[in-house]
A and B are shown apart, each in its own frame.
Chain A
């Protein structure tokens, strides 16, 4: 403790630099989205009207609730939110049903194999997201691999429409997000005390009963974390419904994109984002509680 002043400075810089960066490039942008959601679209650059001005010593603040009223009145937006929540929920469930046994098998594999299996599961999630979604276009299309194979086998005479349907979107989300479900599940399952399972089976519990009464409750932390890692980004997904979905898979991320890029209605896009955040605030908080518990440690 030779130079207390220097230590003081160093600690504050360590805290200050990331703090300022995030304040400027993470927190402030949300405030601006909120502000803009109360603005009016205009044909100008940028394409909205100012939300306040200062004329003749009077500060005028314009709050336009029209964007939010539009979201309430036009059933397209309302349906898009419902569709997004429903599709994200079903896809999360799909990831859980497929991912849980996979994570369980990895956690029970020999220790040396575990690292390799985890790499095999994680590797696809690091390769291009866009490419992985694109891969399904060739498989699911009307003259794609599955339809060609089925026609060749004589199972079907007319191709089944799979691409540009909700089915394709489900496949896409499950495919793209499965690794994010497996990783936290594995992390909790590997810590599971096996003697509890033995005790249960010694006492005559069937394996299904043991699963529901012991394995699942003890891995709840991983189930929640994994589900949130899939559900939250899936609700706002744009690439998957755009490339694999059809006209009826109108998800909110796609609507927001269209409002912004095609209609150039920035205020409506902003209010769509604000409502999406409001819907996701509970799952995001749930995820944060899990994440900060596993990341922080107090000195």
Chain B
């Protein structure tokens, strides 16, 4: 029992460690003083300034668009890869695919970013395309690394799926394609949504890979934040950070909610 209480204390210490810094950030975003460490009274003025900063607003719009297209592509590629990993017979091709799809999970970002940039440069040297780096190249880079996360989420759902329902559909005369769209997709839908949302927040958050692969006209939000943060702490960034924390928490919570619903559905189906 002594062991148990020690671990419980550590759990609370750990949770405080995880949340305190973000809480402090949120509190200081309402600080009236320009000196970020001195409390000068409550004021929401930094939020007002934030919404007048055209550079930040442009970057938000760029980031949102990239995240939307990347997570959509990541779900398509990741789901296909998850199918191969859970439903296909062991083969050399399957082995190499599963190695390639999960590699971005742990690959240091500087390596992924550098290698993709060099690919794009080489491609434009050899084929004259892509003519310049921008949203399109960031989209390719983000789709690739987000697909890894989608593959993990979707494959764990596919593995639990009861094959007999799909078999029943095919026995009743549905083609494989029809079975896939009418039976399999609805059954794994919550995990597809969870994967999409996870990809969306990962893409929105990425600094390193976007810095390597983006061009002059496609500065993303993390790039703007980073160049400002490098110079030190600023109250405007605190306000922006508070909004980001709230927005991403909401997306993360939704993603968690859908993943849980998927689990519950799976449990009901098993009973």
- Which residues of A are at the interface with B, using a C-beta cutoff of 8 A? 2-3, 6-7, 10-11, 14-15, 17-19, 21-23, 25-30, 32-33, 36, 46, 98-99, 101-102, 104-106, 108, 115, 117, 119-124, 126-132, 134-139, 141, 143-145, 148, 175, 178-179, 207-208, 211, 228-229, 232-233, 235-239, 242-243, 253, 256-257, 260-261, 266, 269-270, 273, 276-277, 280, 283-284, 287-288, 291-292, 295-299
- Max chain A CB contacts within 10 Å: which of B14, B103, B248? B14
Chain B: which residue is nearest A126 at the CB level?
B252
Q: Which of B51-108 contact A (CB under 8 A)?
A: 76-78, 80-81, 83-90, 93-94, 96-108
Residues of A within 8 A of B244 (CB): 127-128, 131
Q: Give the complex CA separation of A46 and B114 in angstroms.
A: 14
Task: Decide if B80 touches A18 in the complex (CB within 8 Å).
Answer: yes
Task: Check: B164 CB closer than 8 A to any chain A CB.
Answer: no
Known A-B contacts A141-B233, A298-B90; the reply to A257 vs B110 at CB < 8 A is yes
Residue ranges of B at the interface with A (Cβ–Cβ < 8 Å): 2-4, 6-8, 10-11, 13-15, 17-19, 21-22, 24-25, 28, 36-37, 76-78, 80-81, 83-90, 93-94, 96-111, 114-116, 118-119, 121-122, 125, 140-141, 143-144, 147, 151-152, 155-156, 159, 175-177, 198, 201, 204-205, 207-208, 211-212, 222, 225-226, 229-230, 232-233, 237-238, 241, 244-245, 248-249, 251-253, 255-256, 260
The residue of chain B having its C-beta at the shortest distance from the C-beta of A30 within the complex is: B115
Q: Contacts A30-B115, A129-B207 given; 11 further ones with Cβ under 8 A? A: A17-B77, A22-B81, A23-B100, A102-B15, A106-B11, A121-B15, A137-B232, A284-B103, A288-B102, A292-B99, A296-B86
Name the contact of A273 in the complex, choosing from B104, B114, B152 (C-beta under 8 A). B114
Measured in the bound complex, the distance between the Cα atoms of B228 and A243 in whole Å is 11
